Structure 1
Amino acid sequence: MAKRHLVVAVALVHLSTACSPATDEQSAATNASSAPAPAPVARATAEAADTKLVVALGDSLYAGYNLGPTEGFAPVLERTLKERGVAAQVVNAGVSGDTSAGGRARVAFVLDGLARKPDLVIVGLGANDMLRGLSPARTRENIEAILAELKRRDIPMMLTGMVAAPNMGADYAGAFNAIYPDLAKKYGAPLYPFFLDGVITDRRLLLGDGIHPNPAGVNRVVSKVAPLVTEALK
Protein backbone atom coordinates (compact mmCIF):
# COMPACT_ATOMS: atom_id res chain seq x y z
CA MET A 1 0.00 0.00 0.00
CA ALA A 2 2.83 2.39 0.80
CA LYS A 3 4.39 1.73 -2.59
CA ARG A 4 1.10 2.46 -4.32
CA HIS A 5 0.78 5.77 -2.46
CA LEU A 6 4.30 6.73 -3.54
CA VAL A 7 3.52 6.03 -7.20
CA VAL A 8 0.31 8.05 -6.96
CA ALA A 9 2.16 10.93 -5.31
CA VAL A 10 4.85 11.11 -7.99
CA ALA A 11 2.36 10.79 -10.83
CA LEU A 12 -0.02 13.41 -9.47
CA VAL A 13 2.79 15.91 -9.09
CA HIS A 14 3.48 15.51 -12.81
CA LEU A 15 -0.03 16.70 -13.62
CA SER A 16 1.12 20.25 -12.99
CA THR A 17 3.25 20.11 -16.13
CA ALA A 18 0.08 19.95 -18.22
CA CYS A 19 -1.63 22.80 -16.40
CA SER A 20 -1.40 26.50 -16.91
CA PRO A 21 0.57 28.40 -14.23
CA ALA A 22 -2.28 30.86 -13.78
CA THR A 23 -3.61 31.68 -10.36
CA ASP A 24 -6.98 30.38 -9.22
CA GLU A 25 -8.63 33.72 -9.96
CA GLN A 26 -6.95 34.08 -13.36
CA SER A 27 -8.02 30.58 -14.33
CA ALA A 28 -11.61 31.36 -13.40
CA ALA A 29 -11.65 34.56 -15.42
CA THR A 30 -10.03 32.95 -18.46
CA ASN A 31 -12.24 29.88 -18.49
CA ALA A 32 -15.41 31.89 -17.98
CA SER A 33 -14.69 33.93 -21.10
CA SER A 34 -13.21 31.27 -23.38
CA ALA A 35 -15.03 27.99 -22.74
CA PRO A 36 -16.72 25.78 -23.68
CA ALA A 37 -16.37 25.47 -27.43
CA PRO A 38 -19.66 25.94 -29.32
CA ALA A 39 -19.41 22.77 -31.41
CA PRO A 40 -20.90 20.26 -28.91
CA VAL A 41 -23.65 22.75 -28.00
CA ALA A 42 -24.66 23.08 -31.64
CA ARG A 43 -24.59 19.32 -32.01
CA ALA A 44 -27.01 18.96 -29.14
CA THR A 45 -29.81 20.50 -31.24
CA ALA A 46 -29.59 17.69 -33.77
CA GLU A 47 -30.00 14.79 -31.35
CA ALA A 48 -33.24 12.85 -31.08
CA ALA A 49 -35.64 14.03 -28.42
CA ASP A 50 -35.42 10.74 -26.50
CA THR A 51 -31.61 10.83 -26.34
CA LYS A 52 -30.24 11.52 -22.88
CA LEU A 53 -28.12 14.65 -22.64
CA VAL A 54 -25.08 14.34 -20.36
CA VAL A 55 -22.55 17.09 -19.65
CA ALA A 56 -19.03 16.26 -18.45
CA LEU A 57 -17.77 19.34 -16.59
CA GLY A 58 -14.14 18.95 -15.63
CA ASP A 59 -10.47 19.56 -16.32
CA SER A 60 -7.89 17.92 -18.62
CA LEU A 61 -8.90 14.46 -17.43
CA TYR A 62 -12.33 15.10 -18.96
CA ALA A 63 -11.12 17.23 -21.87
CA GLY A 64 -9.17 14.39 -23.51
CA TYR A 65 -5.74 15.93 -23.07
CA ASN A 66 -3.42 14.93 -25.98
CA LEU A 67 -5.97 12.43 -27.30
CA GLY A 68 -7.82 12.23 -30.59
CA PRO A 69 -11.35 13.66 -30.91
CA THR A 70 -12.95 10.25 -30.37
CA GLU A 71 -10.61 9.02 -27.61
CA GLY A 72 -11.41 11.24 -24.63
CA PHE A 73 -13.68 10.62 -21.66
CA ALA A 74 -16.82 12.15 -23.18
CA PRO A 75 -16.86 10.35 -26.56
CA VAL A 76 -15.84 7.01 -25.04
CA LEU A 77 -18.52 7.33 -22.37
CA GLU A 78 -21.09 8.14 -25.05
CA ARG A 79 -20.20 5.03 -27.05
CA THR A 80 -20.14 2.85 -23.94
CA LEU A 81 -23.56 4.05 -22.84
CA LYS A 82 -24.98 3.19 -26.25
CA GLU A 83 -23.41 -0.26 -26.00
CA ARG A 84 -25.24 -0.61 -22.69
CA GLY A 85 -28.53 0.29 -24.37
CA VAL A 86 -28.61 3.94 -23.30
CA ALA A 87 -28.99 6.44 -26.16
CA ALA A 88 -26.99 9.41 -24.94
CA GLN A 89 -25.08 12.43 -26.10
CA VAL A 90 -22.17 13.32 -23.81
CA VAL A 91 -21.07 16.95 -24.19
CA ASN A 92 -17.40 17.52 -23.45
CA ALA A 93 -17.21 20.54 -21.13
CA GLY A 94 -13.70 19.74 -19.94
CA VAL A 95 -11.03 22.45 -19.96
CA SER A 96 -7.37 21.57 -19.45
CA GLY A 97 -5.86 23.36 -16.46
CA ASP A 98 -9.27 24.20 -15.01
CA THR A 99 -9.62 24.67 -11.27
CA SER A 100 -12.79 24.41 -9.22
CA ALA A 101 -13.01 28.21 -9.41
CA GLY A 102 -12.84 28.04 -13.20
CA GLY A 103 -15.62 25.46 -13.27
CA ARG A 104 -17.71 27.56 -10.93
CA ALA A 105 -17.22 30.62 -13.12
CA ARG A 106 -18.35 28.89 -16.31
CA VAL A 107 -21.01 26.41 -15.20
CA ALA A 108 -23.90 28.77 -15.95
CA PHE A 109 -22.37 29.60 -19.35
CA VAL A 110 -22.13 25.90 -20.19
CA LEU A 111 -25.71 25.17 -19.15
CA ASP A 112 -27.19 28.23 -20.80
CA GLY A 113 -25.49 27.33 -24.08
CA LEU A 114 -27.20 23.96 -24.37
CA ALA A 115 -30.30 23.34 -26.45
CA ARG A 116 -32.11 21.93 -23.42
CA LYS A 117 -31.66 21.02 -19.79
CA PRO A 118 -29.26 18.09 -19.32
CA ASP A 119 -30.42 14.79 -17.91
CA LEU A 120 -27.16 14.56 -15.95
CA VAL A 121 -24.08 16.68 -15.27
CA ILE A 122 -20.92 14.85 -14.21
CA VAL A 123 -18.56 17.08 -12.23
CA GLY A 124 -14.85 16.27 -12.00
CA LEU A 125 -12.82 19.19 -10.65
CA GLY A 126 -10.27 19.80 -7.92
CA ALA A 127 -7.12 18.04 -9.15
CA ASN A 128 -5.49 21.29 -10.22
CA ASP A 129 -6.51 22.96 -6.96
CA MET A 130 -4.65 20.25 -5.07
CA LEU A 131 -1.58 20.40 -7.28
CA ARG A 132 -1.36 24.16 -6.79
CA GLY A 133 -1.79 23.78 -3.04
CA LEU A 134 -4.98 25.80 -3.00
CA SER A 135 -7.11 25.78 0.11
CA PRO A 136 -9.31 22.68 0.41
CA ALA A 137 -11.93 24.91 2.02
CA ARG A 138 -12.01 27.06 -1.12
CA THR A 139 -12.16 23.97 -3.34
CA ARG A 140 -15.08 22.65 -1.31
CA GLU A 141 -16.83 26.01 -1.56
CA ASN A 142 -16.44 26.12 -5.34
CA ILE A 143 -17.55 22.56 -6.01
CA GLU A 144 -20.50 23.01 -3.68
CA ALA A 145 -21.48 26.17 -5.56
CA ILE A 146 -21.53 24.16 -8.79
CA LEU A 147 -23.70 21.46 -7.23
CA ALA A 148 -26.00 24.07 -5.71
CA GLU A 149 -26.46 25.66 -9.14
CA LEU A 150 -27.36 22.28 -10.61
CA LYS A 151 -29.80 21.67 -7.79
CA ARG A 152 -31.34 25.11 -8.31
CA ARG A 153 -31.93 24.22 -11.94
CA ASP A 154 -33.26 20.77 -10.99
CA ILE A 155 -30.51 19.00 -12.93
CA PRO A 156 -29.35 15.56 -11.72
CA MET A 157 -25.67 15.45 -10.86
CA MET A 158 -22.81 13.04 -10.32
CA LEU A 159 -19.29 13.49 -8.92
CA THR A 160 -15.98 11.90 -9.80
CA GLY A 161 -13.44 12.43 -7.06
CA MET A 162 -9.73 13.04 -6.74
CA VAL A 163 -7.29 12.25 -3.93
CA ALA A 164 -4.51 14.44 -2.59
CA ALA A 165 -0.94 13.38 -3.26
CA PRO A 166 0.59 12.12 0.02
CA ASN A 167 3.35 14.72 -0.19
CA MET A 168 0.71 17.40 0.42
CA GLY A 169 0.69 16.30 4.05
CA ALA A 170 -1.83 14.50 6.22
CA ASP A 171 -3.78 17.59 7.25
CA TYR A 172 -4.21 18.75 3.67
CA ALA A 173 -5.12 15.26 2.46
CA GLY A 174 -7.67 14.83 5.22
CA ALA A 175 -9.40 18.07 4.34
CA PHE A 176 -9.20 17.60 0.57
CA ASN A 177 -10.18 13.94 0.34
CA ALA A 178 -13.31 14.50 2.42
CA ILE A 179 -14.72 17.02 -0.05
CA TYR A 180 -16.16 14.52 -2.51
CA PRO A 181 -17.92 12.03 -0.22
CA ASP A 182 -19.24 14.87 1.95
CA LEU A 183 -20.75 16.79 -0.98
CA ALA A 184 -22.02 13.65 -2.70
CA LYS A 185 -23.90 12.76 0.47
CA LYS A 186 -25.21 16.29 0.99
CA TYR A 187 -26.56 16.58 -2.56
CA GLY A 188 -27.59 12.96 -3.03
CA ALA A 189 -25.18 12.60 -5.95
CA PRO A 190 -23.61 9.33 -7.12
CA LEU A 191 -19.86 9.33 -6.52
CA TYR A 192 -16.99 7.60 -8.29
CA PRO A 193 -14.39 8.18 -5.55
CA PHE A 194 -11.14 8.42 -7.57
CA PHE A 195 -11.21 9.11 -11.30
CA LEU A 196 -7.77 7.56 -11.91
CA ASP A 197 -8.31 4.46 -9.79
CA GLY A 198 -6.61 1.46 -11.38
CA VAL A 199 -5.01 3.69 -14.02
CA ILE A 200 -2.52 5.96 -12.27
CA THR A 201 -0.40 3.03 -11.09
CA ASP A 202 -0.22 1.30 -14.49
CA ARG A 203 2.15 2.97 -16.98
CA ARG A 204 0.57 1.00 -19.82
CA LEU A 205 -2.60 3.04 -19.34
CA LEU A 206 -0.92 6.47 -19.26
CA LEU A 207 0.46 8.98 -21.70
CA GLY A 208 4.15 9.83 -21.61
CA ASP A 209 3.56 12.44 -18.88
CA GLY A 210 2.76 9.62 -16.47
CA ILE A 211 -0.57 11.09 -15.35
CA HIS A 212 -3.13 11.52 -18.13
CA PRO A 213 -4.84 8.37 -19.41
CA ASN A 214 -4.04 7.14 -22.89
CA PRO A 215 -6.89 5.62 -24.94
CA ALA A 216 -6.60 2.32 -23.07
CA GLY A 217 -6.63 4.21 -19.77
CA VAL A 218 -9.74 6.14 -20.75
CA ASN A 219 -11.44 2.87 -21.62
CA ARG A 220 -10.53 1.52 -18.18
CA VAL A 221 -11.95 4.61 -16.44
CA VAL A 222 -15.14 4.57 -18.49
CA SER A 223 -15.69 0.85 -17.87
CA LYS A 224 -15.95 1.69 -14.16
CA VAL A 225 -17.83 4.97 -14.44
CA ALA A 226 -20.41 3.92 -17.05
CA PRO A 227 -22.46 1.68 -14.73
CA LEU A 228 -22.93 4.60 -12.30
CA VAL A 229 -23.89 6.92 -15.13
CA THR A 230 -26.34 4.35 -16.52
CA GLU A 231 -27.99 4.04 -13.11
CA ALA A 232 -28.11 7.82 -12.68
CA LEU A 233 -29.90 8.21 -16.00
CA LYS A 234 -32.69 5.82 -15.11
Structure 2
Amino acid sequence: MHAIPFRRLPGRPATLLLLCLVLCAAAPVKIMALGDSLTAGYGLPHDQGFVVQLQNAIDAEKLNATVLDDGVSGDTSADALARLDWALGDDPNAAIIELGGNDGLRGLPPAEMERNIAAILDTLKARHIPVLLSGMVAPPNMGPAYSAAFHAVFTRLLARPGLITDPFFLQGVAPHETLEQADHIHPNAAGVKIIVARLMPEVRRLIARARRKMPPA
Protein backbone atom coordinates (compact mmCIF):
# COMPACT_ATOMS: atom_id res chain seq x y z
CA MET A 1 0.00 0.00 0.00
CA HIS A 2 1.32 3.40 -0.98
CA ALA A 3 1.15 6.27 1.49
CA ILE A 4 -1.00 9.17 0.34
CA PRO A 5 1.07 12.36 0.14
CA PHE A 6 -0.13 14.96 2.61
CA ARG A 7 -0.70 17.49 -0.18
CA ARG A 8 -3.35 15.28 -1.72
CA LEU A 9 -5.60 15.28 1.33
CA PRO A 10 -8.75 17.32 0.73
CA GLY A 11 -8.74 21.01 1.69
CA ARG A 12 -10.09 21.66 5.17
CA PRO A 13 -9.14 18.34 6.84
CA ALA A 14 -5.63 18.77 5.49
CA THR A 15 -5.44 22.29 6.92
CA LEU A 16 -6.65 21.14 10.33
CA LEU A 17 -4.20 18.25 10.34
CA LEU A 18 -1.34 20.56 9.45
CA LEU A 19 -2.35 22.99 12.21
CA CYS A 20 -2.44 20.13 14.73
CA LEU A 21 0.98 18.91 13.65
CA VAL A 22 2.44 22.42 13.95
CA LEU A 23 0.96 23.03 17.42
CA CYS A 24 1.99 19.62 18.72
CA ALA A 25 5.55 20.12 17.53
CA ALA A 26 5.87 23.67 18.80
CA ALA A 27 7.46 24.50 22.13
CA PRO A 28 5.00 25.82 24.72
CA VAL A 29 4.74 29.56 25.20
CA LYS A 30 6.11 30.39 28.67
CA ILE A 31 4.07 33.13 30.36
CA MET A 32 5.64 34.94 33.30
CA ALA A 33 2.88 35.92 35.74
CA LEU A 34 4.59 38.72 37.64
CA GLY A 35 2.56 40.03 40.52
CA ASP A 36 1.76 40.15 44.21
CA SER A 37 -0.57 38.11 46.43
CA LEU A 38 -3.38 38.28 43.87
CA THR A 39 -1.18 36.38 41.44
CA ALA A 40 0.32 34.17 44.16
CA GLY A 41 -3.11 32.97 45.31
CA TYR A 42 -2.85 34.22 48.89
CA GLY A 43 -5.23 32.46 51.27
CA LEU A 44 -6.22 29.74 48.80
CA PRO A 45 -5.24 26.10 48.34
CA HIS A 46 -2.62 25.80 45.63
CA ASP A 47 -5.01 24.32 43.09
CA GLN A 48 -7.47 27.21 43.49
CA GLY A 49 -5.06 30.12 42.99
CA PHE A 50 -4.81 32.34 39.93
CA VAL A 51 -1.84 30.65 38.26
CA VAL A 52 -3.26 27.13 38.50
CA GLN A 53 -6.77 28.17 37.45
CA LEU A 54 -5.31 30.08 34.50
CA GLN A 55 -3.16 27.09 33.54
CA ASN A 56 -6.22 24.84 33.68
CA ALA A 57 -8.14 27.21 31.40
CA ILE A 58 -5.23 27.31 28.95
CA ASP A 59 -4.94 23.52 28.98
CA ALA A 60 -8.68 23.12 28.44
CA GLU A 61 -8.32 25.09 25.20
CA LYS A 62 -5.14 23.22 24.23
CA LEU A 63 -3.26 26.51 23.76
CA ASN A 64 0.15 24.94 24.46
CA ALA A 65 1.33 27.48 27.02
CA THR A 66 2.82 27.24 30.52
CA VAL A 67 2.20 29.83 33.22
CA LEU A 68 5.25 30.59 35.38
CA ASP A 69 4.28 31.55 38.94
CA ASP A 70 6.16 34.76 39.70
CA GLY A 71 3.67 36.13 42.20
CA VAL A 72 5.01 37.05 45.65
CA SER A 73 2.64 38.05 48.43
CA GLY A 74 3.37 41.51 49.80
CA ASP A 75 5.34 42.66 46.78
CA THR A 76 5.19 46.31 45.84
CA SER A 77 6.04 47.49 42.34
CA ALA A 78 9.58 48.22 43.60
CA ASP A 79 9.93 44.66 44.92
CA ALA A 80 8.81 43.20 41.60
CA LEU A 81 11.22 45.40 39.69
CA ALA A 82 14.07 44.30 41.99
CA ARG A 83 13.48 40.62 41.21
CA LEU A 84 12.63 41.02 37.53
CA ASP A 85 16.02 39.81 36.29
CA TRP A 86 15.65 36.68 38.43
CA ALA A 87 12.19 36.01 36.99
CA LEU A 88 13.49 36.52 33.46
CA GLY A 89 15.99 33.73 34.09
CA ASP A 90 13.23 31.30 33.06
CA ASP A 91 13.26 32.86 29.57
CA PRO A 92 9.55 33.66 29.31
CA ASN A 93 8.00 34.37 25.92
CA ALA A 94 5.18 36.51 27.33
CA ALA A 95 4.23 38.27 30.56
CA ILE A 96 1.16 39.08 32.61
CA ILE A 97 1.83 42.01 34.96
CA GLU A 98 -0.42 42.50 38.02
CA LEU A 99 1.00 45.06 40.44
CA GLY A 100 0.09 48.15 42.42
CA GLY A 101 -2.19 46.76 45.10
CA ASN A 102 0.43 46.86 47.84
CA ASP A 103 1.65 50.29 46.75
CA GLY A 104 -1.90 51.49 47.32
CA LEU A 105 -2.38 49.69 50.62
CA ARG A 106 0.83 51.22 51.94
CA GLY A 107 0.10 54.67 50.57
CA LEU A 108 3.32 54.73 48.56
CA PRO A 109 3.76 57.60 46.10
CA PRO A 110 1.95 56.87 42.82
CA ALA A 111 4.79 58.51 40.89
CA GLU A 112 7.23 55.93 42.24
CA MET A 113 4.84 53.13 41.32
CA GLU A 114 4.64 54.50 37.80
CA ARG A 115 8.43 54.61 37.46
CA ASN A 116 8.74 51.02 38.70
CA ILE A 117 6.07 49.53 36.46
CA ALA A 118 7.30 51.58 33.49
CA ALA A 119 10.80 50.19 34.07
CA ILE A 120 9.41 46.65 34.06
CA LEU A 121 7.51 47.32 30.83
CA ASP A 122 10.57 48.92 29.22
CA THR A 123 12.72 45.90 30.11
CA LEU A 124 10.19 43.49 28.63
CA LYS A 125 9.81 45.61 25.51
CA ALA A 126 13.58 45.63 25.00
CA ARG A 127 13.49 41.83 25.13
CA HIS A 128 10.55 41.71 22.67
CA ILE A 129 8.34 40.00 25.26
CA PRO A 130 4.64 40.79 24.71
CA VAL A 131 2.78 41.95 27.81
CA LEU A 132 -0.72 41.79 29.23
CA LEU A 133 -0.89 44.60 31.80
CA SER A 134 -3.71 44.53 34.33
CA GLY A 135 -4.71 47.71 36.14
CA MET A 136 -5.37 48.34 39.82
CA VAL A 137 -7.27 50.90 41.87
CA ALA A 138 -6.31 52.49 45.18
CA PRO A 139 -8.13 51.56 48.41
CA PRO A 140 -10.93 54.07 49.07
CA ASN A 141 -9.60 54.90 52.54
CA MET A 142 -6.57 56.64 51.00
CA GLY A 143 -8.70 59.64 50.08
CA PRO A 144 -9.82 61.16 46.77
CA ALA A 145 -6.57 62.95 45.92
CA TYR A 146 -4.48 59.80 46.29
CA SER A 147 -7.06 57.72 44.41
CA ALA A 148 -7.08 60.20 41.54
CA ALA A 149 -3.28 60.20 41.28
CA PHE A 150 -3.22 56.40 41.45
CA HIS A 151 -5.87 56.12 38.74
CA ALA A 152 -3.96 58.57 36.55
CA VAL A 153 -0.85 56.37 36.74
CA PHE A 154 -2.68 53.35 35.37
CA THR A 155 -4.45 55.46 32.76
CA ARG A 156 -1.02 56.40 31.40
CA LEU A 157 0.50 52.94 31.75
CA LEU A 158 -2.41 51.19 30.07
CA ALA A 159 -2.21 53.66 27.18
CA ARG A 160 1.36 52.67 26.33
CA PRO A 161 1.54 51.39 22.75
CA GLY A 162 1.91 47.70 22.06
CA LEU A 163 0.39 46.41 25.30
CA ILE A 164 -2.54 44.05 25.72
CA THR A 165 -4.50 45.57 28.57
CA ASP A 166 -7.04 44.77 31.26
CA PRO A 167 -8.46 47.78 33.15
CA PHE A 168 -8.70 46.26 36.64
CA PHE A 169 -7.54 42.86 37.85
CA LEU A 170 -10.41 42.53 40.36
CA GLN A 171 -13.10 43.74 37.97
CA GLY A 172 -16.31 41.79 38.55
CA VAL A 173 -15.05 40.52 41.91
CA ALA A 174 -14.51 43.53 44.19
CA PRO A 175 -16.45 44.56 46.21
CA HIS A 176 -18.74 41.47 46.07
CA GLU A 177 -18.45 39.70 49.43
CA THR A 178 -19.47 36.32 48.01
CA LEU A 179 -16.41 36.42 45.73
CA GLU A 180 -13.91 37.65 48.34
CA GLN A 181 -12.07 36.15 51.26
CA ALA A 182 -12.76 37.38 54.78
CA ASP A 183 -10.19 40.17 54.43
CA HIS A 184 -12.29 41.77 51.66
CA ILE A 185 -9.08 42.20 49.63
CA HIS A 186 -8.28 38.85 48.06
CA PRO A 187 -10.63 36.86 45.83
CA ASN A 188 -11.83 33.44 46.89
CA ALA A 189 -11.73 30.49 44.48
CA ALA A 190 -14.98 31.56 42.83
CA GLY A 191 -13.64 35.07 42.42
CA VAL A 192 -10.44 33.79 40.82
CA LYS A 193 -12.55 31.75 38.39
CA ILE A 194 -14.30 34.95 37.28
CA ILE A 195 -10.97 36.77 36.87
CA VAL A 196 -9.55 33.96 34.75
CA ALA A 197 -12.66 33.77 32.54
CA ARG A 198 -12.57 37.52 31.99
CA LEU A 199 -8.87 37.50 31.15
CA MET A 200 -8.89 34.51 28.81
CA PRO A 201 -9.66 36.45 25.60
CA GLU A 202 -6.65 38.67 26.30
CA VAL A 203 -4.52 35.67 27.27
CA ARG A 204 -5.35 34.08 23.91
CA ARG A 205 -4.14 37.24 22.20
CA LEU A 206 -1.01 37.25 24.34
CA ILE A 207 -0.19 33.64 23.46
CA ALA A 208 -0.78 34.25 19.75
CA ARG A 209 1.43 37.35 19.82
CA ALA A 210 4.19 35.47 21.66
CA ARG A 211 3.94 32.54 19.25
CA ARG A 212 4.55 34.83 16.29
CA LYS A 213 7.78 36.07 17.89
CA MET A 214 9.13 32.61 18.72
CA PRO A 215 11.62 30.90 16.40
CA PRO A 216 10.33 27.85 14.48
CA ALA A 217 10.56 24.59 16.39
TM-score by length of 2: 0.80
Distance 1:179 1:229 in 2: 23
Q: 2:71 aligned to 83, 91, 94, which one?
A: 94
Q: 2:145 aligned to 165, 171, 192, which one?
A: 171
Instruction: Indicate the residue corresponding to 2:83 in structure 1.
Output: 106
Residue 205 of structure 2 corresponds to residue 231 of structure 1: yes
Cα deviation code 1:28-65 (max 9, x no counterpart): xxxxxxxxxxxxxxxxxxxx852111110000000010
Instruction: Indicate the residue corresponding to 1:201 in structure 2.
Output: 175
Distance 1:59 1:164 in 2: 15
Residue 89 of structure 2 corresponds to residue 143 of structure 1: no
The answer to whether the 8 Å contact 2:158/2:167 transfers is no
Instruction: Indicate the residue corresponding to 1:41 in structure 2.
Output: none
> What displacement does 1:179 show?
1.9
Q: Which moved more, 1:210-219 or 1:174-183?
A: 174-183
- The letter for the 1-side match of 2:177 is R
Residue 58 of structure 2 corresponds to residue 81 of structure 1: yes
- Structure 2, unaligned runs of 5 or more: 1-24, 209-217
Q: 1:67 aligned to 44, 55, 71, which one?
A: 44
Distance 1:80 1:107 in 2: 26
User: Helix, strand or coil: the match of 1:148?
Assistant: helix
Q: Which moved more, 1:52-61 or 1:187-196?
A: 187-196
Instruction: Indicate the residue corresponding to 2:159 in structure 1.
Output: 185
Q: Which moved more, 1:70-79 or 1:168-177?
A: 168-177
TM-score by length of 1: 0.75
How many residues end up aligned between the 2 structures? Answer: 184
Instruction: Indicate the residue corresponding to 1:50 in structure 2.
Output: 27
User: Over the residues paired in the alignment, what is the CA RMSD in angstroms?
Assistant: 1.4
Output aligned runs, 1:109-148, within 5 Å. Answer: 109-112=86-89, 114=90, 117-148=91-122
Cα deviation code 1:209-233 (max 9, x no counterpart): 2221111111011000111111122
Cα deviation code 1:87-144 (max 9, x no counterpart): 21101100000000000000111102x1xx3221111111111111110000000000
The answer to whether the 8 Å contact 1:159/1:180 transfers is no
User: Helix, strand or coil: the match of 2:159?
Assistant: helix
Distance 1:49 1:84 in 2: 16
User: Helix, strand or coil: the match of 2:132?
Assistant: strand
Q: Percent identical across equivalent pairs?
A: 45
The answer to whether the 8 Å contact 1:161/1:180 transfers is yes
Instruction: Indicate the residue corresponding to 1:29 in structure 2.
Output: none
> What displacement does 1:187 show?
4.0
> What displacement does 1:202 show?
1.7
- The letter for the 2-side match of 1:221 is I
- The letter for the 2-side match of 1:148 is D
User: Helix, strand or coil: the match of 2:150?
Assistant: helix
- The letter for the 2-side match of 1:137 is A
